[in-house]
Amino acid sequence: MDLWDARAAILCGDLSLGELVDSLWERIGALEEKIQAFLSLADPAALKTAEESLAERPLRGIPIAIKDNISTVDFPTTCGSRFLERFRPVFDATAVARLRGAGAQVQGKTNLDEFAMGSSTEHSAFGPTRNPHDPERVPGGSSGGSAAAVAAGEALAALGTDTGGSVRQPAALCGVVGLRPTYGLVSRWGLVAFASSLDQIGPITRSVRDCALILSLIAGHDPRDSTSLPVEPRDYTQDLEGGIEGWKFGLPQEYRPRELGPEALSLVDRWASAIEELGGKVVEISLPLTEYALPTYYLIASAEASANLARFDGVRYTTSAPGETVKEMIATSRTLGFGREVKRRIMLGTFALSAGYYDRYYGKAQRVRTLIAREFEEAFQEVDIIFGPTSPTPAFRFGEKEDPIAMYLSDIFTLPSALAGVPAISIPGGEIGGLPFGLQLIAPRLGEGKLLRAAYALEGVLSR
């Protein structure tokens, strides 16, 4: 049962909220010790008592899991870091508040790579999350806890965050649906910042219809977020029907390299056949700047991380480490509080912003980012949707990608659209070696309605 069906069953009296909560906690009891998707959980008894007060709202008291870098007043918000181990926000993030306003309840907070910096959820200070399809493999990251919880049936839906692919890549590796909205469509207020010009909250669900429902509830302008777009809320579930007949789907040659391997290439051909079966037309296009997306992203994201994480100094938010001077106390606190991957990105970003190197690295990366965005705009003059793999490989084994560059390449197909600020979704696209392999669809800016309609049509064919 997905979120949509559970909501309908509660409405018609075939299922009570208490029965739903019991079912979820039964799965958690059976699987959580092995998967470790959650860092904190609500009291199930408290969730069940909300049935009467929330029964008339759209989500009818249904529990939703929240990634642990999104502020919640009734749960700690650790960002997967020892630095914030005891931090408890005094407000809900806008996205969380809107879900609560629609009748949802916070089920718990899910695990993530520390400060959302990673592609495997191996870099959480509280231990890794494991892939429900194979516990010896990673769930992807950084929203690995959210994706694993949904894939394992421990949650009906979850919120994640996507900076360079952190909703879509774990969704692909866990075999669920993950959407990165247009930058600014969903408020970032209450999201602990990693890279402010890239971060975006998005839903992870079991179906495209669920994804459209959650997006409808969390999207819309927020005056507290200076990057929030002035758009009115809308019901994206109304966009799902109608099919894709006559639409043009662009397959970039850069998203179909020979290095993908024969099984992955075979799935890409299957996706193209499914599009044509539905009346769409597949055309080959080129996005030649794709090869520059990785260095561009890591310069921009690391520079912004260096600035954003400067606030974690051992004085605020957490307990200070000892030191004879303030400088020594801050240095010790940051040394002990941050993990290796976070330190790596802070140092890279600080160097890129330093005197004499700012324009050579950060400034040039920003100019390339503009070119990448223009390249997408030009491509969408020719096609309605761009498609290709979400990730180059299915889920890999723990410790398999210790080289940082090899790990960063896990996001090679998700980074360009993140830099361009356009919406993209990953849906289950088949299996390789018994492991999920994701299909990514990309639409023009604010093209979520078109994107979800295409995903919904293809989901119906590919799930047969």
Across 302-319, average pLDDT: 89
Residue 319: pLDDT band by 50, 70, 90 thresholds? Answer: low
18 has pLDDT over 90: yes
Domain limits of the chain?
3-239
Place of tokens 């769409």: 280
Kindly report, residue by residue over 415-434, the tens digit of the pLDDT: 999 999 999 999 999 999 99
Q: How many CB atoms lie within 10 A of CB 322?
A: 9
51 has pLDDT over 80: no
Kindly report, residue by residue over 174-203, the tens digit of the pLDDT: 999 999 999 999 999 999 999 999 999 999
- Find the Cα–Cα–Cα–Cα dihedral 49, 54, 58, 59, rounded to 10°: -20
- In 3-state terms, what secondary structure has residue 131? strand
For residue 254, what are the β-bridge partners? none
Backbone angles phi, psi at 256, to 5 degrees: -135, 50
Contact 437, 267 (CB under 8 A): yes
pLDDT for residue 150 = 98
Q: For the chain, what percent of residues have pLDDT higher than 90?
A: 92
Close Cβ partners of 23 (under 8 Å, ≥ 6 residues apart): none
CA distances (Å), origin 334, targets 12, 142, 158, 321: 53, 21, 30, 9
Structurally, at CATH architecture level, domain 3-239 sits in: Alpha-Beta Complex (3.90)
- Tell me the angle at which helices 208-218 and 94-101 cross, rounded to the nearest 10 degrees: 110
Q: Is 83 exposed, middle or buried (0-12, 13-18, 19+ CB in 10 A)?
A: buried
Across 99-107, average pLDDT: 97
User: CA torsion sign, 118 to 301 to 146 to 384?
Assistant: negative
Give catalytic residue positions.
Answer: 67, 142, 166
